[in-house]
Amino acid sequence: MPLYPILDTAQLHGHPLEDVLAAAMDGGAAWIQIRHKADFTRDFLKTLEACAKRKRDLILNDRADYAALFGLGLHVGQTDLPAAAAREIIGPNAILGLSTHNAAQLAAAQNLPVSYLAIGPIFATQSKANPDPVVGLQTFQSRHPLVAIGGITLDNAGPVLSSGIEKVAVISALWQAPYTLKSFSDNVTRWQHHLNSFKGSASSTPP
C-alpha cells in the first residue's frame, strides 16, 4: 500500500490515539507511524502498549528503547540514534526507517541497515515546527524503498509517485472538518484508492 499515515499525537483533534490507530487500520493503512514529541509518561506508555497489541508492525518515531520494549518498528532522523545502533536495539526483523533531506544524506544512507528511507520535505509543510529546506520534485534513486514526506496532497501525490517513490507519508492532509474518526478513516481509504489507481495506471503505461 503506497499510503503511510503518520499519527502525530499533537494533531489528533481530541481523539484518543488508540481510536485514531483503529480508524487508520479500518481505512486500509498498512504501515502506520506514531509520532510523539511530548513526554513519554506512564499513561502514554500504557496507550502505546495497547496500540502495539493492536498492530505489531506499528512504527514509532525516535525512541528505539520503547520500540524494542513493545516490539515495534522505528523511524529515526539525522540527529537521532544512528541507524546501525538503532538496528542493534530493535533487532534484525523490525521495520527501520531513516529521514533524509537532500541528495548527500540520501547517498550516505544507501549502505545502512534500514528498511526504507524517507526523503523530504518534498513541498512546503506545516506539520513540523522547523522543517528542512524543500527538496522539490526530482528523480530519486535508492537501493532502499523511498517514502516521500512533506506537503503532499491528493493533487500532487501522482507526480511524487512518478519520481521513484514507493510510499507517501501524510499527516495533516488526512484530517478534514468535521475531524471525526469516520472522516479520517474515509480519507485514508480515499487516499489508498487514489494512490493505487495512479500506480496501476502508471505501471500499465507502455515505455
Structure confidence at residue 1 as a pLDDT band (50, 70, 90)? confident
CATH value of 3-204 in 1.10.357.10, 3.20.20.10, 3.20.20.70, 3.40.50.1100: 3.20.20.70
Structure confidence at residue 187 as a pLDDT band (50, 70, 90)? very high
- State the DSSP code for 4: E
Interatomic CA distance for residues 94 and 135, integer angstroms: 28
pLDDT(83) > 60:
yes
- Of 46-50, 79-83, 154-158, the least confident: 154-158
Q: What confidence tens digit (pLDDT) does each residue in 87-137 have?
A: 999 999 999 999 999 999 999 999 999 999 999 999 987 666 667 789 888
* pLDDT score, position 138: 84
Query: pTM surpassing 0.85?
Result: yes
Q: Domains of the chain: which residue ranges?
A: 3-204
Cell representation of residue 40: 513519554
Residue 18, H or E segment: helix 17-26
Q: What is the mean pLDDT of the chain?
A: 92
Strand partners, 148: 119, 168
Of all residues in the chain, what percent carry a pLDDT higher than 90?
81
* Helices and strands (DSSP H and E) totals, the chain: 7, 8
Q: Quickly count: other Cβ atoms within 10 Å of residue 165's Cβ.
A: 24
Phi and psi, residue 40, nearest 5°? -90, 80
DSSP string, 122-182: SS--SSSSSPPPP--S-----SS-EEEESS--TTTHHHHHTTT-SEEEESGGG--TT--HH
* pLDDT score, position 199: 65
pLDDT(205) > 70:
no
